[in-house]
Amino acid sequence: MQYYVPNNGTPTTTQFDPNAYPTSRLKVLAGTIVQGDFHNPNSWSYETWKWRHWIGMRKGVSVFGQGSTTTIVGVLNGDYVGPPAYNQSVVYNQALERLNAKVRGGLDLAVALAEIKSTTRMIAKLKQLNPLMQISREDARRGKHKTRIGSTRDVANGWLEWQYGWKPLMSDIFGIADESIRVVINKVERIKASAKQPLTDSNRRFLGTVQSQVPYVIRDGKGFTACSMKIELDIPAFDLARWTSLNPVSLGWELIPYSFVADWFFDVGSYLRNMETALLYNCRFRSGYVSELVVWDAEHFVDTTFRNVVGDTTYTFGACTQTLRYRKFNRTKLTSYPFPRKPTFNVDLSSARLFSAAALLHQFLKPGFWRK
């Protein structure tokens, strides 16, 4: 279904005519409305654009000898600027990961057992720690004890040991205790999760078409992409999948050195675990749905420094703007447990990851590098 609503609000099936110069337009694409039972969700989608055409001044000065002829246009013809490119799979996979964390938990004893040697060495290093070194005054005066306390390398090693050693160990201990006292009350459980990511593309210059000219357009907008999921599952009294991973491929990936760094940019680890979870719990799935939403509001400006000479006429723009209000919604009724979408390249470095990246870089550099 597609229709346009002009200023008087009367729906019409006529196609968009930019030469009509309306102040604003509303375009709606919607699926067929399904009469539901007010209980079970149905698949449905819609997409709306509400934009105001270019309004401002385009000035053309034509020079004839010593005089000039000036033409000023107020409402301008031109292409409307759509929303920026976005990746809905990123927020979908993030919502699915949160859903799986509620369904299955984050405990994975297979990884903990595979790393038992490194964990033992980490615990054994506690015996070597001596925060307050026992140095006598005589030894200190003679300079017999020279040591480096609090170097940058020590800080980097300590941060990595905490982030990827002690923190996962304490999480596993808490997970074991939590699973030991976990009691299943309802055999059917309703679980939901959601994720949201900002959508920004401001102060970007790109070419646009306004009044048969091709000036630079500056975008100023903000919005977000969101995804929510809700499912119903049969819950057994004891669930082995909540204790350990059953996929050797997932376990092998976790044991590859620095695989977590690759996951910062191309999240293979989460994809493998989400795929394993979908396969394990598909037989227990009863019903559910996924809702995806895109919201974008923007204002566009023509760069006033634009100059275009056609024959003997020089064209310029002044205070020329356009606005857009965009919404896209899609609800899908699930017939099976939600599967993950293929991971895509996505750089989203938090402060903790930036600290870890700096600590790893410090480990690879020579000890005297920072003093050069």
**More confident site: 35 or 66:** 35
What letter would DSSP give residue 164? I
Please tell me the distance from the alpha carbon of residue 267 to that of residue 255, in angstroms, as a whole number: 15
pLDDT at 308: 86
User: What is the pLDDT at residue 4?
Assistant: 38
Q: Is the pLDDT of residue 227 over 80?
A: yes
Distance, CA of 303 to CA of 213 (rounded, Å): 12
Please tell me the least confidently modeled range out of 155-159, 165-169, 324-328: 155-159
pLDDT digits (tens, 9 = 90+) for 50-89: 988 888 888 888 876 445 556 666 677 777 788 888 889 9
Identify the band that residue 338 occupies on the pLDDT scale cut at 50, 70 and 90: very high
The CA-atom distances, in angstroms, between 248 and each of 264, 276, 311, 363 are: 22, 10, 71, 30
pLDDT greater at residue 145 or residue 257: 257
Q: Which of 10-14, 72-76, 235-239 has the lowest mean pLDDT?
A: 10-14
H/E element, 315: strand 313-333
Which amino acid makes up residue 330? N
**pLDDT value of position 365:** 66
> Is 219 within 8 Å of 185 (Cβ atoms)?
no
∠349-354-358 over CA atoms, to 5°?
145
pLDDT of residue 251: 81
Percent of the chain at pLDDT > 70 equals: 77
The two counts, helices (H) then strands (E), for the chain are 10, 10
Residues 83-97, buried b or exposed e (16+ Cβ, 10 A)? bbebebebbbbbbbb
Mean pLDDT along residues 325-331: 95
pLDDT of 71:
62
Six token digits for residue 304: 């006033």
Range 187-212 average pLDDT:
86
Residue among 108, 114, 238 at smallest CA distance from 180: 238
Query: What b/e sequence results for 318-333 when a residue is b if at least 16 CB atoms lie within 10 Å of its CB, and e otherwise?
Result: eebebbbbbbbbbbbe
